[in-house]
Each structure stands twice: as structure tokens, then as C-alpha cells.
Amino acid sequence: MTKVVDRSPLSFYERTYVPALVEGLKVTARHFVRTVKGNNTAKDLGDGYYPEFPWRVNAGYRGAPYLVRDQDGATKCVSCQLCEFVCPPKAIKITPPGPDGPKADRLNAEKIPLEFEINMLRCIFCGYCEDACPTQAIELGHEHQLSFTDRENAIFDKKMLIDPPVEGAQASPQVVEPGVYTRSIPDMEDPK
């Protein structure tokens, strides 16, 4: 059985949407005043908004790419350049070593890349590079917080993509387990 709700027709004033706008501005003003006073945090709101409560990525999330190490700590990349060729926005640039370049640092590879760069401003996180790699040397991680102050910082070289971070700094991209957030977030103190 459906219930019919009796609704009175809207007045001219209500049809102008002025009451709805006034109510919305009241809510905005209340939040503004609370924020200026320092009382408006995510804990007060009770929802758990980012950045106070970190966003947890799902298992299938494709974040920033990174280079994988083998069990001996060497890079798995053999400079085949398949990831560079398959990349739709041409974000990956690999410079092979050439005939006189550095020899591979492990037994099961002929060569290692002289340079390996990913322009994170171009990368669309499609995962084609990961699919094309025959040695599984590149994977898409779960890092989603990428911000840059200039274009040069957005180009990740081989050292940034594979090596651990400098002491006290976070690597970007960083390998994390699905659904786990690795960055430390300071506890929110109650500003009273």
C-alpha cells in the first residue's frame, strides 16, 4: 500500500530558493566560525574526513608505479623497453646501456637500464607497463598522495623508484599492503 503525502504548493518566496540558500549559508557560517575558533576538527564532526583519518586503498587500487627488487636486492629491470613502448601517454623513458654501458649486476640478466624515468605528471596509472613487463620489474603500488612543487620533482628517476628513502623521509611511491596506510599521522589534539 502506498502512502500519499499531502504537500502544499510552494509560495512565491519558496520558489525563489532564497530560504534554501539562507539555510545553506547558515551551515557554512557555523562551520566557518567553529574553524576560526579552532573547534572544528574531523573528530568533532564524527565522520572521519581525510587528512585526519587516512584514506585506505582497496586491494585493486593502482597507484604510482615503482621498480621491484629481486631477492638479492638488485633491480629486476633488463632494459627491454616494453613498458616504454606500451605506455599510452609516453610517461616512461628508458635509456639502454648500449654496447659499452654498465653490465648487469646479476647473473640472470644481460643488461640493466642506464636511466629509467617516469614522468608522474603524464602517468595515467593504467597498468599497461606492469602487464607488458616480462620480468615483473615494474608494478603499480598504492601510493596516491603525489604532490610536486615544480615539474622537475615530478620526474622520478631509477633511484627514486627503487631505493629506500633518505633517513627520515617517505619514499614516493612506496610499497604498501592493500588497505594499509603507511604514513604516520600525528594524533589530533583537542585545541582547548
HEC sequence for 13-39: HHHCCHHHHHHHHHHHHHHHHHHHHCC
Q: CATH number, domain at 113? A: 3.30.70.3270
In a domain, 69, yes or no: yes
Instruction: State the residue range of the domain holding 114.
Output: 65-162
**Would you place residue 29 in the very low, low, confident or very high pLDDT band (cuts 50, 70, 90)?**
very high
- My answer on whether 71 and 119 are in the same domain is yes
Q: Is residue 46 scored above 80 in pLDDT?
A: no
Q: 60: Cβ–Cβ under 8 A, 6 or more apart, which residues?
A: 178
- My answer on whether 146 and 84 are in the same domain is yes
In a domain, 55, yes or no: no
In a domain, 140, yes or no: yes
For residue 191, the model assigns a pLDDT of: 43
- My answer on whether 108 and 155 are in the same domain is yes
Mean pLDDT of the chain, nearest integer: 77
Q: Is residue 45 scored above 60 in pLDDT?
A: no
- My answer on whether 27 and 86 are in the same domain is no
Digit-coded pLDDT (tens) for 130-177:
999 998 899 988 887 788 888 888 999 988 888 554 444 444 444 545
- My answer on whether 18 and 102 are in the same domain is no
In a domain, 1, yes or no: no
- My answer on whether 35 and 74 are in the same domain is no
- My answer on whether 92 and 143 are in the same domain is yes
CA 41 to chain centre: 24
CB atoms within 10 A of CB 92: 22
For residue 173, the model assigns a pLDDT of: 46
- My answer on whether 26 and 72 are in the same domain is no
Compute the distance between CA of residue 74 and CA of residue 117 in angstroms, rounded to an integer: 17
For residue 107, the model assigns a pLDDT of: 65
Q: Is residue 66 scored above 80 in pLDDT?
A: yes
In a domain, 5, yes or no: no
- My answer on whether 36 and 96 are in the same domain is no
Q: How many domains does the chain have?
A: 2
- My answer on whether 27 and 110 are in the same domain is no
Nine-digit cell string for 185: 599521522
**Would you place residue 126 in the very low, low, confident or very high pLDDT band (cuts 50, 70, 90)?**
very high
The bridge status of strand 138-140 relative to strand 155-156 is unpaired
